Amino acid sequence: MLKPNKLANKNFLSSLDLSSSEVFHLFELAKNFKNKKINIDLNNKVLGLIFDKSSTRTRVSFQVAMSRLGGTTIDLNPTTSQIGRGEPIKDTARVLSRYCDVIAIRTFDHSNLQEYAKWSTKPVINALTDLEHPCQALADFLTIHEEFLNFEDVVLTFIGDGNNVANSLILCGALLGVEVRIACPKGYEPNPLVIKKAYEIYKNKDLLKICHDPNTAVIGANVLYSDVWSSMGEENQKEEKDKNFNGFTIDSDLVSKANKDAIVLHCLPAYRSKEITDEVFESKKNRIFEQAENRLHAQQALLSCLLN
């Protein structure tokens, strides 16, 4: 078993900031936290939360995780701090890392997150950028591992926009050797650099497929995954995206083409009758709330390692 302190003081900006053995170590730890088999006390360590976008799950799961670890969080709302008035990131990062022990940031440009990490002397965690959502991918693969007990022969089909959530699923999937298929409309493919990096990691290059036909992408899939069509910051593209994503709804017809044992995941929040029908969302195939719960356990494991 990997020693937790291997990750001490590291940043978690991308799914690729962990090795596959570190991901498996976090899963083991997360399951132990979940089953209340371990208790780690961080002695009042402080997590600063900078959220330039809305959040329910990420914010609350980080707050509860810190509380369970005997630490605390500070909500650094950009509109009530000097961040919103344009104080440079490099100044904010140097100040905050003298108060906080770790900082989680949700923002737009991934380069802003990297700028925080460059100037912070404390670990920085990606709580979602336009490019990646690595904490989400950890909880997603933890949920899949709980369901299927290993990743052998698991096929994950993501149907939707190839942005942050899809990018992190591809990278984490590559680390874990899981077959990942992305079915997206033309023009909404995942980031080319992400695809390139994933192909460098996959031993079997056939395990990553980017296509534009959900109906063929779900054949033989064990996990069907969806995300909103219009992400935060894309509110003005809603009408256009609703049109372009027509045919990319996870409905019962699509589910019937997947494996019999297939489960359905969604990072949430969900818009019924857009990316997923209410029927599928509420069906027995749904592991969406287990997945949401696992955000807490996965992040508790991550924090306990970064701060150990």
Work out which of 2, 201, 232, 270 binds ligand NVA, going by CB under 6 A. Answer: 232
Q: Active-site residue among 267, 287, 291, 297?
A: 267
The site partner of 231 among ligand CP, ligand NVA, none (C-beta below 5 to 8 Å per kind) is ligand NVA
Which is closer to ligand NVA, CB of 101 or CB of 227? 227
Is the bond preceding 192 in cis, omega lying within 30 degrees of 0?
no
Total residues contacting ligand CP (rule CB under 6 A)? 8
Residues 6+ apart with CB under 8 A from 223: 144, 154, 155, 156, 157, 262, 263, 264, 265
**Cβ count near 143 (within 10 Å):** 23
The one-character DSSP state at 237 is: G
Taking the C-alpha atoms of residue 28 and residue 247, their distance in angstroms, rounded to an integer, is 38
Binding characters for ligand CP, 46-65, by CB under 6 A (x = yes): ---------xxxx-------
Spell out, one character per residue from 114 to 153, where the chain touches ligand NVA: x when CB under 6 A holds, - when not: --------------x-------------------------
- Judged by CB under 6 A, which stretch of 64-72, 100-108, 162-170, 202-210 contacts ligand NVA? 162-170
Q: Closest Cα partner for 48 from 74, 84, 81, 70?
A: 74
Q: Provide, rounded to whole angstroms, the least separation between the CB of residue 21 and ligand CP.
A: 26
If binding is defined by CB under 6 A, does position 270 make contact with ligand NVA? no
163 binds ligand CP (CB under 6 A): no
Give the span between the Cα atoms of 145 and 221, in whole angstroms.
15
**Of the residues 7, 103, 124, 267, which one makes contact with ligand NVA according to CB under 6 A:** 267
Pick the piece of the chain touching ligand NVA (CB under 6 A) from 20-28, 64-72, 160-168, 249-257. Answer: 160-168
DSSP annotation of 184 reads: -
Which run of H or of E encompasses 106?
A: strand 102-106
Contact 57, 292 (CB under 8 A): yes
CB atoms under 10 Å from CB of 131, counted, come to 23
Catalytic residues, which ones? 106, 133, 136, 227, 267, 295
Q: Which residues are near ligand NVA by CB under 6 A?
A: 128, 163-165, 227-228, 231-232, 267
